[in-house]
């Protein structure tokens, strides 16, 4: 299936709105540093959608998600199941970089999440792989799963069925790739959890 012009147009509208999101508490930080918002990247027809937390410095400088050290871990994991970036879609809940890479705040998540909601509706993935606890909790809550109250250490690597507006979707909570940067055991866990995605390749 090729991306329809409608999908491209809807994604472009999201981009335009985020670019002009002057009410964001992160807008001033973005413009005063000449940063870009990071909307997302990949196939609009992806079966697998990855959702991280928020852009870091490399991402804000380039406008591309997961293009720094965490991105290299993500690429390694994708390669382990013979997937390349072009065939998946990668985005974040919060589309602008929080200062000093601090955790995204509740008001920021609430402001940016409706854009993510629209992106999910456009792509209509078979599986949503959350990267880190913020996107895990938001996605499971969004789709009314009781599991949102559980810890990522309990849920990682599990396929959790949920129902979205367009149909049934699987959610797989994964640890954030940054966690694998300095810990070999976390990297092995991420690698093992990624193998579950093979059935969607």
Question: Given the rule CB under 6 A, which residues bind ligand URA?
Answer: 38, 52-56, 59, 65-66, 70, 92
CA distances from 26 to 103, 104, 131, 136, 154 (A): 13, 10, 21, 22, 32
- Residue 77: CB minimum distance to ligand URA, A: 14
Nearer to ligand URA, 70 or 189 (CB): 70
Please identify, using beta-carbon distances, which residue of 103 and 161 lies nearer to ligand URA: 103
In angstroms, give the least distance from the CB of 7 to ligand URA.
21
- Among 169, 196, 176, 189, smallest CA distance to 46 is for 169
Residue number with CB closer to ligand URA (6 or 79): 79
Minimum CB distance to ligand URA smaller for 55 or for 125:
55
* In the complex, least distance from residue 123 CB atom to ligand URA, rounded to whole angstroms: 17
89-92 and 41-42 beta bridge pairing: antiparallel
Q: What residues are paired with 42 via a beta bridge?
A: 89
How far is 169 from 161, CA to CA, in rounded Å?
6
């Amino acid at each position: 299936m090729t991306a329809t012009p409608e999908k491209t147009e809807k994604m472009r509208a999201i981009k335009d709105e985020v670019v002009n999101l002057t009410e964001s508490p992160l807008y001033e930080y973005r413009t005063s540093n000449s940063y870009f918002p990071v909307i997302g990247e990949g196939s609009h027809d992806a079966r697998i959608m990855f959702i991280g937390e928020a852009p870091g410095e490399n991402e804000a400088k380039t406008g591309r998600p997961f293009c720094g050290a965490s991105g290299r871990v993500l690429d390694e994991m994708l390669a382990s199941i013979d997937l390349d970036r072009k065939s998946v879609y990668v985005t974040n809940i919060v589309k602008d970089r929080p200062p000093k890479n601090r955790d995204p705040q509740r008001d920021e998540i609430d402001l940016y999440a409706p854009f993510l909601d629209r992106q999910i509706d456009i792509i209509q993935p078979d599986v949503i792989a959350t990267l880190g606890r913020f996107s895990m909790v938001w996605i499971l809550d969004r789709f009314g799963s009781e599991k949102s109250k559980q810890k990522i250490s309990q849920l990682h690597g599990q396929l959790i069925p949920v129902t979205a507006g367009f149909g049934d979707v699987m959610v797989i909570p994964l640890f954030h790739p940054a966690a694998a940067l300095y810990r070999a055991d976390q990297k092995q866990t991420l690698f093992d959890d990624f193998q579950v995605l093979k059935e969607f390749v």
